[in-house]
Amino acid sequence: MLEHMSSDNVFEYKKLSSEEQKRRGILGRLVGVIADSVNATRNGRKYSAKLWQKVFEDPIMKEKIENRVCFGEACHPVDGREEVDPEKVAICLAEVPKMNTNGQLIGVFDILDTPCGRILKTMLDYGANIGVSSRGSGDVELDFNGEEYVNPDSYDCICWDAVFVPAVKEARLQYDL
């Protein structure tokens, strides 16, 4: 089951010492909203709480998070591919996200010491407010109000990528060194 945050919406995650970050090849962390189960994305689609629950109950997603291989790239691939290119990896989902009382998923990403991770860190150091956006595929259907939603039973979440304009407007994460 997807863990919920406390009623006061305080998000707690495992803080790492600078020594531990260096040992693991982590340049910093991105923390904040990564999805919204109530409001539609900028492309007009809704991703329900049921969908995110299924994503994080999926054995493959659990395995990816537990083994620190839920990697994301610096920007979505322009060729539309779903698999992650190891040469373009910049971030990794550090733990299972938590749902706040507003229906938003709050997550933590490690910025990795890779060529793309260093580029991302340089932009963050400059002051860029980077976002994240999920990458996956699923059937888009219409609800009773004629609004689009992604069918939870068909959605396959691959990863989250660092992006300049996230599909969820609030998915601009805090840079945590």
3-state secondary structure of 140: strand
Question: How far apart are the C-alpha atoms of 138 and 169, rounded to whole Å?
Answer: 21
pTM greater than 0.85 (yes/no): yes
Question: How far apart are the C-alpha atoms of 30 and 171, rounded to whole Å?
Answer: 10
Question: How far apart are the C-alpha atoms of 83 and 72, rounded to whole Å?
Answer: 10
Which H or E element spans position 50?
helix 49-57
pLDDT at site 113: 97
Q: What is the pLDDT of residues 10-24, one digit of tens each?
A: 666 667 777 777 767
pLDDT-based confidence at residue 80 (cuts at 50, 70, 90): confident
Question: How far apart are the C-alpha atoms of 95 and 10, rounded to whole Å?
Answer: 16
